[in-house]
Chains A and B, each alone.
Chain A
């Protein structure tokens, strides 16, 4: 793994400060982050909890690709992408992305690129648990 990329897919609680500390650099002028949180509703139904499962080995490769593409495409210094696996409660954090850059515009663009791409390409699946059952999100497009 490159020195300017931190990738994690873990059943432990994600820690924002760890991502910030990783991307922080004395030559950086700003850090953009995205912190996903578990919403308590979806399409009007109350969500009780979520479960994330992954094709772990491939998911890590795809996360790594996103980080490398972000470094290629945007003028950024470092990037951290951490994603949770397993059961998450409302308000808990499934994903954290942090990006540092000398000039802030690049961090924002790279951060949004990373979360948008993650949601399209990384083999991770979310199951929503309702009072009356559970459903794989997006399973039937």
Chain B
């Protein structure tokens, strides 16, 4: 991995950073993800050719860093509902099992690479039949139709999607702020006042909740919603300022472009 990052607490190859964090030699809190992303983007710009493998590896590690960091930033404390706490621990155990599994297969993969590298030093004999035997060869085209041939050609020339940088591990974003704003504008006049918990009920993906939250902030900024929160980490109450008339499109324009 050629990407080197320089942060106040760490300077060196990017992939090593994850190892160090896991070994607690670098405090994750103090690592700015922004710095890392910047360093990486700079590296990409300097690159003459786009290195797909590098990009993929980066995204994977970055995703793990984000996940770890998000987890540490999760509010916790004495007020946790026992059910929630259990859930958090359960989730943690699952994540731990997943990380161990990931590491195991990473190791296995490097072993496979070694095996294949060793094996690639030998070439098989593929000379095939000598002239004298050629007339004996069984009929390979038996049962093959023109259509089979066409299908085979289509299969072969089908675009290979694997040349994509896959970003699935960064939760797929199903919701957009625009949509969330639109939904709120529809829902809120009817509901009047509601807690954030209520508003996000039924949403399972963290990203969807975040998008909802951003939509609320936006509407708050526009002055059509009021937000209050009595305790820190307490319930957030959202209420509609009923006298405000807004035109949908005006608002939505903010997000386009």
Q: Do A and B bind each other?
A: no
B residues with CB within 8 A of A = none
A residues with CB within 8 A of B = none
